[in-house]
Amino acid sequence: MPDPAPFDPSLPWRRARSVALRPEPFGALVYHFGNRKLSFLKSPTLVSVVETLADHPSAEATLVACGVPEAQHPAYVKALADLARSQMIELRESPA
């Protein structure tokens, strides 16, 4: 399978439709019903970012809306890029 395009935080994203989040004390467990991959969201803030991606025009805007401090944006973008690679989040067609 060819590598998907690199994660672009300026585009609109959403939690993939076949993905479920299970709340956990540390954040959440992420499960993809299609490819059966399991992943973890290691902070409650990251959980709200993933849950509200679809409400904002871009991933960057979601980080701002969720109150992620500027200095932590690169770490969060990296986490989202990992989730995009494992198909836990997906691009959506139209902006919110």
Q: Which residues bind other proteins (CB under 8 A)?
A: 20, 22-27, 29, 31, 33, 36, 38, 40, 42-46, 75
* CB closer to other proteins, 1 vs 5: 1
- CA gap 25, 32 in Å, rounded: 20
* CB closer to other proteins, 81 vs 91: 81
* CB closer to other proteins, 4 vs 78: 78
At 76, give phi and psi (nearest 5°).
-70, -40
Minimum distance from residue 47 beta carbon to other proteins (Å): 10
At 54, give phi and psi (nearest 5°).
-70, -15
Exposed/middle/buried for residue 22 (C-beta within 10 Å: 0-12, 13-18, 19+): exposed
Minimum distance from residue 96 beta carbon to other proteins (Å): 26
Number of residues assigned to the chain: 96
Q: What tokens were used for 20?
A: 């479920």
Minimum distance from residue 94 beta carbon to other proteins (Å): 28
* CB closer to other proteins, 46 vs 89: 46
